[in-house]
Amino acid sequence: MSLDEADIAALFVTLKLAGLTTLILLLLGTPLAWWLARSKWRYKFLLEALIALPLVLPPTVLGFYLLITLGPNGPLGNLSQALGGPSLAFTFTGLVIGSVFYSMPFVIQPLQNAFAAIGSRPLEVAATLRASPLDRFFTIAVPLARSGFLTATVLGFAHTIGEFGVVLMIGGNIPGKTQVLSIAIYDHVEALEYGQAHLLSGGLLLLSFLMLILVYAVNRRFSLVRQ
């Protein structure tokens, strides 16, 4: 028994989706998390609640609204079509957009916490040592928040791999394009192909566990060094 072609395609789609989503979230989420950690804006909590929403919202709800937004009659779907592209629903691009929302808290919250834990002192020290604000961010804040970056990366990646409801709503189930592992497993179970379902499930279980072991082991080492 081995993986068939569709399973391998689903694996690649899944890894590509998780990788791309994590990258986008790190790029957009880092400045946002930094701002959230440092800002004293009194209505900041509204934004924090919004970012945490995917933690509690049923994925189908998120998926439903994304479908409306990305579909041919939705604002983003319209925009994409106006620019000569397809409607975003049922495309890989749509899937990436959906995943970015879906995994957002898993990347932003660890980053925000890590930035907040640094406090303002090391940055003030760096300022008195001639470092400009951007310089301070890259040479002090980022290295000191490295455990936060590791956690954010792994959680963002792993959580995107585990995505099901949102993908089902907006990605459809197009083999080789938008079919991801979690949905492939569902299909196998539906078709009573328990062997292949086992293989994929076991693989995902192992992968997720290994990634979390990595996070906890490395973070433990960081905190020992820091003490």
Partner 1 sequence: MTIQARFELHKKDFSLNVDLHIPARGVTALFGPSGCGKTTLLRAIAGLEHCPQGFLQIDGMCWQKETLFVPPHQRPLGYVFQETSLFPHLNVRQNLEYGLKRVPVAERRVPLDKAIELLGIAPLLARKPHKLSGGERQRVAIARALAVSPRLMLMDEPLAALDLARKQEIFPYLESLHRELDIPVIYVSHSPDEVARLADHLVLMEAGGVSASGPIADMLTRLDLPLAQGGDAETLIEATVSEHDEAYKLTYLDFPGGRFTVAYKDLPVRTKVRLRIIARDVSITLEHQSNTSILNIFPATVDKIAPAGSAQVTVRLLAGNVPILSRITRKSAALLDLTPGKAVYAQAKSVALLA
How many residues can be counted in the chain? 227
Longest CA–CA span in the chain (Å) reads 66
The Cα 91–Cα 76 span in angstroms is: 13
Nearer to partner 1, 125 or 205 (CB): 125
- Cβ contacts of 131-139, under 8 Å, gap ≥ 24: 137/34
Task: Considering the complex, state which of residue 133 and residue 202 has its C-beta at the smaller distance from partner 1.
Answer: 133
> Residue 3 or residue 131: which is nearer to partner 1 going by CB?
131
| Run of H or E including 52 | helix 44-56
Name which of 44 and 146 has its Cβ closer to partner 1: 146
Q: How far is the CB of 121 from partner 1 (least distance, A)?
A: 6
Burial of 56 (0-12, 13-18, 19+ CB in 10 A): exposed
Smallest distance from partner 1 to CB 118, Å: 10
Interface residues toward partner 1, by CB under 8 A: 121-122, 124-133, 135-136, 139-140, 143-144, 146, 225-227
